[in-house]
Amino acid sequence: MPKFTTPIAPFPASRPRRQRRTAFTRDLVREHHLSASDLIWPVFVHEGAQRIEAVPSMPGVSRLSLDALLPLARECAALGIPAIALFPVIDPSLKTPDGAEALNPDGLVPRIVQALKQQVPGLGVLTDVALDPYTSHGQDGVLDANGRILNDETVAILKQQALVQAAAGVDIVAPSDMMDGRVGAIRQALEAAGLIDTQIMAYSAKYASAFYGPFRDAAESPPQFGDRRTYQMDYANADEALREVALDIDEGADIVMVKPAFGYQDLIWRVKEKFRYPVACYNVSGEYAMVKAAAQNGWLDEKQVVLEMLTGFRRSGADIILTYWAQQAARWLNG
């Protein structure tokens, strides 16, 4: 038998744990980083003075009047959070079947946008383009006599709503309704009005999800009948999301979104890999409420779980994360 003359390499030849042994090497080789600049803070706004109303299903989240919002907006800017997203809570007396209050240039959202841009000019402002906060029936569009949501008639109103918001000075309009063709209609209207710098963040792959429940409580806009599955996507579908994203990019979206985030990280990944386009995700109210409830019961470490979850969204391909933890996460990250 011949003798082996080549020395056998010791086992294991490679030791990945070497790079995990100390904090500084873990930081050096970390592949994905989370920072305050990746976050947008969604906030619920309503009329009044010094009105701060807690949302029971979302511990730590409140509906805010403008004077209560402004110091928090300044804090966001100081923490390095680049933008906030406004979601209005409209007085029921202003709600109509066609959501006409959405087109009021002196309405709640335009006035808050103007105040924010004047008093916190370095903070970006995003507004929701959708009719459900304004309709008496709580659906995202206008209805025919049989209660069917009309697509093109709704788009005509959404286009005007986006123009009102853009004229007020908002940086980003975000159509969240999932009507066909609304991104193209809004982009054409903005261009025609000379509002060429207004960005569009399209809710491109928005699923009909049970995880939105606490949001609807907070915004006081639950559907009064039926559900939203005729326009929001089936959560069993993935290829359809890629088609929706492709349409919105072709129609002029600047940023595309996947919503919800936690159970849809495969979609965030696929969208980013296919399109190489700015991708946002929305860490929605139900995801927030579950972690908050578990943390309050001592079952989870809130800080560690939140930072892990948000970093996971970044790892999946999200460039931007809308999250109710934005301020708290920024404090943790900056601390």
Cite the active site residues. 206, 259
Q: Residue 146 is which amino acid? A: N
The two tokens of residue 70 are 């402004």
Helix, coil or strand: residue 203: strand
Q: b/e map of 65-83 (b: 16 or more CB within 10 Å)? A: bbebbbeebeebbebebbb
State the Cα–Cα distance between residues 138 and 286, nearest whole angstrom. Answer: 19
Residues 208-220 as b or e (16 or more Cβ within 10 Å = b): ebebbebbebbbb
Those residues with Cβ within 8 angstroms of residue 232's Cβ, 6 or more apart along the chain or in another chain: 178, 206, 207, 208, 209
DSSP-derived 3-state class of residue 136 = coil
Report whether the peptide linkage leading into residue 12 is cis, meaning its omega lies within 30 degrees of zero. Answer: yes
- If you search the block for the tokens 């088609």, which residue do you land on? 243
In this structure, is the dihedral angle defined by the CA atoms of residues 89, 95, 97 and 103, taken in order, positive or negative? negative
Cα–Cα distance for residue pair 109/84, rounded to 1 Å: 13
CA–CA separation, 1 and 200 (whole Å): 75
> Cα-flanking dihedrals φ and ψ of residue 44, to 5°?
-95, 130
